[in-house]
Amino acid sequence: MKIKQIIFLPFALLLGFSACRNNDYSPKPKAYYRIEFPEKSYQALKAPVPFSFSYPAYASVEQDKSRDAQNNWYNLHFKQFNGYLHLTYYDVSGKEAFNEMVEDARKLAFKHTIKASAIDQKLINYPEKRVYGVYYAIEGNTASSVQFFLTDSVKHYFRGALYFNERPQYDSIAPVIKFIKTDIDTLISTFKWKN
């Protein structure tokens, strides 16, 4: 019986070493959670502000309570995506204030140039509603993926910026950004000044 063990032991060791020798181990990438998107449904904004628009039913409207916030600053909170569309409004009666706001919007969008792989600009033009502006689609690992401003070019200025409370990883949040962009498009297309 000892002879069988002596013969079998080297054979088993040789077999074990040869089996391990050809394995190439490489770590697998982290998996991403499956994202379940809610059904698209919109409702009208009910707030005492000089504008109106439709926003998704799965987002909540919260008044911005930060230290610098004005009365007409709001956030659309997309809780299931851990994201916010920050919305600010200014009365810009007077040409200097208007030009300054438009330039600030451009600077804030292009501040992401360092991390962005592309920044696309699209003009917004609804003359029948006196709604004009610029939409910035920012691609890449940037803090903000969408920014825009709307104005009547005389008195009103409204700005939006989409942010997520996550480390920017464009590949992982791209489906969410695409989903929310349609909501932002709806907000813009339904946007109206009340006076």
**Would you say residue 13 has pLDDT above 60?**
yes
Residue 26 domain-assigned (yes or no): no
Residue 29 domain-assigned (yes or no): no
Residue 6 domain-assigned (yes or no): no
Residue 159 domain-assigned (yes or no): yes
179/99: higher pLDDT? 179
Host H or E run for residue 93: none
Exposed (0-12), middle (13-18) or buried (19+): which is 109, by Cβ within 10 Å? Answer: buried
Residue 10 domain-assigned (yes or no): no
Q: How confident is the model over 50-59, as a mean pLDDT? A: 96
Domain that residue 72 falls in: 42-193
pLDDT value at residue 17: 65
pLDDT in tens, 127-145: 999 999 999 988 888 878 8
Q: How confident is the model over 81-101, as a mean pLDDT? A: 84
**Would you say residue 149 has pLDDT above 90?**
yes
> At residue 99, what are phi and psi to the nearest 5 degrees?
-60, -40
For the chain, the domain total comes to: 1
* Domain at 124, CATH number: 3.40.1000.10
